Amino acid sequence: MNKAQLWERKTDQIVSAELLPEMTPEQVVQTGEHWQRFRVQARERLRRERASVPEHDHWNWDEKSHYLKFTAYRCLGIRYDDEVQGLMMISTLAVEGRLPIHKGKPVLYVKYIESAPWNLKGYMGAEARFGGIGISLIRAAIAASLEEEFRGRIALHSLPQSEPFYARFMEDLGIDLDVEKLRYFEMSEERAVKFMKGGDV
């Protein structure tokens, strides 16, 4: 069984969670509905406190699940305590890397990645439950890249709120004017190897 390591903030302990390598559209929809109910409550509280909501507050995993009709898309999840703690949609379509060292080589593209709302400080502040979701999902993306014989190369476009996170271990190739003016990040083969050995590189 695939495993993922999460940090439970309240106890300051590392817990072992289950990595779900291929979720069905129905599982993705159910997870999105569960998250949305929680998100609505958190959103109302933030509005009362006159605090801003996370940039991806409008995301709808019901709509995103439609990508799974195509064989090139797969949704992975992390489950702990009978709840999905994070989701990631990846594409194995042959997209050419943009780093000079990746010229002519395919990369695995991470289309969406999200932690459950109760794990996000943007919704929960100091009460956020688990950390390490993003790190575990990036590891899973690298593993999928290796399975596809892309040698660990991955890429994604980041919302502004997440740019500092990805900049820690991926190459920042600047704003992509063709994709909602989002910043594009790519991970080299060398960085992928280091990341799998110990996280940040």
The reported pLDDT for the residue numbered 200 is: 53
Select from 77, 81, 90 the least CA-distant residue to 27: 77
- Compute how many other C-beta atoms are within 10 angstroms of the C-beta atom of residue 27: 18
Name the average pLDDT for the chain.
94
The mean per-residue pLDDT over the stretch 145-151 comes to: 96
The mean per-residue pLDDT over the stretch 89-98 comes to: 93
pTM score, whole prediction = 0.93
- In angstroms, the CA 71 to CA 147 distance is 15
Segment (H or E) for 96? strand 83-96
- Compute how many other C-beta atoms are within 10 angstroms of the C-beta atom of residue 108: 27
The reported pLDDT for the residue numbered 94 is: 80
Residue linked to tokens 């390598």: 21
Pairing of strands 154-158, 106-115: parallel
- In angstroms, the CA 134 to CA 14 distance is 15
The mean per-residue pLDDT over the stretch 69-85 comes to: 96
Handedness of CA 195, 176, 76, 80 (dihedral sign): positive
